[in-house]
Amino acid sequence: MSGLFNILTIPFLLAMFLAINMGGSGTAPSFSAAYGANVIKRTVIPGLFGIMVLAGALIAGKEVSLTLGKGLLDHSFFTPLNTSVILLSIGLSLLIANLIGVPQSTSQATVLSIAGAATALDGLNLNKLLYDIIPTWIILPIISFFIVLILSKWIFPFIKTKILKNKFSDLNKHKGLKAVLILSSLYVAFSIGANNVANAAAPIASLTANEIGQEAIKNFLPIIILSVLIVAPCFAIGSSLFGHKVTKKTGKQIVKVSPFYATVIALIVSSLLLFASVAKGIPTSLVQLNGAAFIALSISKNGFKHTFKNKTVKQFFSVWAIAPIFAYILTFTLITILK
């Protein structure tokens, strides 16, 4: 038992390090809307975020864990060395993004890190990557963008002038709406738990099953649950350490958002992520779903040119492009050298 403990210690510590960074990055899409609308204090965000992430992972995270644990790369390849390299690469890419203050896609960094390892080991399930995962990454942010753009540019203005007779601003002061916004933020955190906890938990679950033996591989789900219980609380730690900076950037530096629009955005992006998690088992970027929604809202209010001149928007696109590629190259290089 002590030998097994020694083998698993470093990968588990790296998974916890990754979860801390994911907590910092994931706080923004959960609570940036509510924080940007000034309906929640930043001091209570980490605790609420951690609780809902754990609930989402345990209740709705099974399919994504299976995809990352053995869907892209067969579980037999998750040796202590390979798993450690994968987790280290993801963690470093997210740490850089958190230090910059840009919320980064943990799912894309994880998938491309595993893909980098799989390429180096000649074990990549290319069909899963090209025909399931990447199309979902492209389609869902586009859906998020156009839903918010259509609602904010045409539907809600029509409701405001024709149905509410320009009393729309009264909604922003309504206590019930603010309560719904907080609930929708909790719903987003739940969706993050369903999708993103697997990024750290699935690799160490596959490693643990390999080290225990064939019987554990046949009974994979209990090991996934145990891994989730170890990893998920670290999200709250990351939220406390890094969350405020990335939440402020998303919630206050792209476009000024009202409680009403904040609630709409939270409900749309979290529902899309939960669909990807439960129906398809695809690790998906809530950060990009949320960013696409905020950009759409900015375009409807401020115009296309003004939105894309925004320094924060430019920074988002740069980091979103670079961080996953960095994770892929780093993992591929290290495993090629060390295998």
pLDDT in 10s for each residue of the chain, 339 residues: 456 667 888 999 999 988 888 887 777 667 876 776 677 887 888 889 999 999 999 899 888 988 888 788 888 889 999 999 999 998 888 788 777 766 677 788 889 999 999 999 999 999 989 999 999 999 999 999 999 999 998 888 877 676 555 554 554 566 777 788 888 889 989 998 999 898 889 899 888 888 887 665 667 778 888 888 889 889 888 888 876 665 555 555 555 667 677 778 888 988 999 999 988 899 988 878 888 888 898 898 888 888 888 877 777 777 777 888 888 999 999 999 987
118 vs 328: CA distance, rounded Å: 10
Q: Is the CB of residue 119 less than 8 Å from the CB of residue 327?
A: no
Q: Is the CB of residue 217 less than 8 Å from the CB of residue 210?
A: yes
Per-residue model confidence (pLDDT) at position 135: 93
246 vs 42: CA distance, rounded Å: 12
Q: What is the DSSP letter of 172?
A: G
Structure tokens at 75: 């579980």
Per-residue model confidence (pLDDT) at position 33: 67
What CA–CA distances, in Å, run from 5 to 8, 10, 208, 222?
5, 9, 10, 18
Using CB atoms within 10 A of its CB, is residue 163 exposed (0-12), middle (13-18) or buried (19+)?
exposed
204 vs 80: CA distance, rounded Å: 9
Using CB atoms within 10 A of its CB, is residue 160 exposed (0-12), middle (13-18) or buried (19+)?
middle
What is the CB neighbour count within 10 angstroms for residue 313?
A: 19
DSSP-assigned states of every residue in 71-137: ISB-GGG--HHHHHHHHHHHHHHHHHHHHHT----HHHHHHHHHHHHHHHTT-B-HHHIIIIIHHHH
Q: Look at the block and give the residue holding tokens 């510590």.
A: 13
Per-residue model confidence (pLDDT) at position 15: 92
Per-residue model confidence (pLDDT) at position 164: 53
Q: Look at the block and give the residue holding tokens 């509410």.
A: 164
Q: What residue ranges do the domains of the chain occupy?
A: 2-338
Specify the pTM.
0.83
Per-residue model confidence (pLDDT) at position 217: 60
